[in-house]
Amino acid sequence: MSVSASRIVWVTGATSGIGRACVAKLVARGHRVVALGRRLERLKRLLEGLPEGALHVAACDVQDIDQVQQVYQDLPPAFTPVDTLINNAGLMLGTDNFDTLAESAMRTMVMTNCMGVLHNTSVLLPSLKASARGHIVNVTSIGAHHPYVSGHVYAATKAFVAHFGASLRPELASQGVRVTNVAPGRVETEFQSVRTGVSGPATAPAGNAVPTLGADDVAEAICWALEQPTHANVNAIELVPAGQAMSFR
Ligand SMILES: NC(=O)c1ccc[n+]([C@@H]2O[C@H](COP(=O)([O-])OP(=O)(O)OC[C@H]3O[C@@H](n4cnc5c(N)ncnc54)[C@H](OP(=O)(O)O)[C@@H]3O)[C@@H](O)[C@H]2O)c1
């Protein structure tokens, strides 16, 4: 890839799953990456074996805009100006109906999935605009478009992000910033263990295996959207396992 085609990409939620897969693919393609997450030890492991200047990592809770701002201010010069933002950090908490959901779980989902996206977008937007080839990718969910039982708050947060991205795109169209929403179906990551509070891979009853995508599948779709010529905007991608009939299984 030519140096002019390489990007400086800010990836939230890079310690696991889709975000971590994005980091690996982007670095392998010659882009410089800023990888964020709360678990610094995991972020440091991403640096192993990489050449100097390929990856910058920083601990950051996206719920707190001051932390996002601080990471941005502390960026080494080689990682500026950021031209690409992947709003990926997110989580679902709880497996039951809404009336059983703790208020703390509601708050964490809204603060992470909604406010986290707003925090990162507002801090990075001046840099994305100044780059004249900015790109924002929001990782939403098919739950944003296809309601399902027990989706309630999580699905609503993803509908918020999808609508935010779709509304931002025309606003930024004349300012050299593209916006893409990526809505995955079920992906095999730590998402389910975070959701249930039970660590380890999700187990399905015998004969009832749940079809899943790999994190790499979603990361590949994100890279494809980023690498389209700058006159083309991929508005939205909905990517589900071929065997997944509904949003919930
Ligand atoms: N897996 C699926 O089936 C699926 C389907 C549709 C959409 N998605 C979406 O895909 C995105 C990535 O999820 P995943 O499947 O890759 O799950 P994952 O493996 O659990 O990864 C989630 C990432 O988000 C980060 N994160 C969570 N809360 C954060 C916070 N407050 N501040 C900073 N980072 C935070 C986590 O890092 P730390 O814990 O280290 O902070 C982790 O790196 C999410 O937005 C999720 O909603 C997933």
Query: Ligand 1 atom 44: the closest Cα is on which residue?
Result: 90
What pLDDT score was predicted for residue 237? 98
Best residue among 189, 212, 222, 248 to mutate for probing ligand 1's pocket (most ligand atoms within 8 Å of CB) is 189
Instruction: Tell me the CA–centroid distance for residue 3 and ligand 1, in Å.
Output: 30
What pLDDT score was predicted for residue 3? 46
Query: Ligand 1 atom 25: the closest Cα is on which residue?
Result: 13
Q: Could you tell me the domains of the chain?
A: 3-239 (3.40.50.720)
Instruction: Tell me the CA–centroid distance for residue 91 and ligand 1, in Å.
Output: 5
CB atoms within 10 A of CB 145: 16
Q: Mean pLDDT, 10 residues at a time, over the chain (249 residues)?
A: 76 98 98 98 97 97 98 98 98 96 97 99 98 97 94 98 98 97 97 89 58 97 97 97 80
Instruction: Tell me the CA–centroid distance for residue 13 and ligand 1, in Å.
Output: 5
Residues with beta carbon inside 6 Å of ligand 1?
A: 12-19, 37-39, 61-63, 88-91, 112, 139, 141, 184, 186-187, 189-191, 194, 215
What pLDDT score was predicted for residue 210? 81
In the residue annotation, 72 being an active-site residue is answered as no
Q: What 3-state DSSP class applies to 221?
A: helix
Q: How many helices (H) and strands (E) does the chain have?
A: 8, 9
Query: Ligand 1 atom 36: the closest Cα is on which residue?
Result: 13
How far is residue 131's CA from residue 175's CA, in Å, rounded to a whole number?
10
Which ligand 1 atom sits closest to the C-alpha of 189?
19
Burial (CB < 10 A; 0-12, 13-18, 19+), residue 238, is middle
User: Residues 50, 51, 55, CA angle at the centre, nearest 5°?
Assistant: 65
Mean pLDDT of the chain: 94
Q: Looking at beta carbons, which pairs linking 44-52 to residues 24 or more positions away fall under 8 Å?
A: 46/14, 46/20
What pLDDT score was predicted for residue 5? 77
DSSP letter, residue 51: P
What pLDDT score was predicted for residue 209? 74
Bridging pattern class, strands 84-87 and 134-139: parallel
Q: Looking at beta carbons, which pairs linking 166-174 to residues 24 or more positions away fall under 8 Å?
A: 166/235, 166/236, 168/121, 168/136, 169/233, 169/235, 172/129, 172/134, 172/136, 173/233
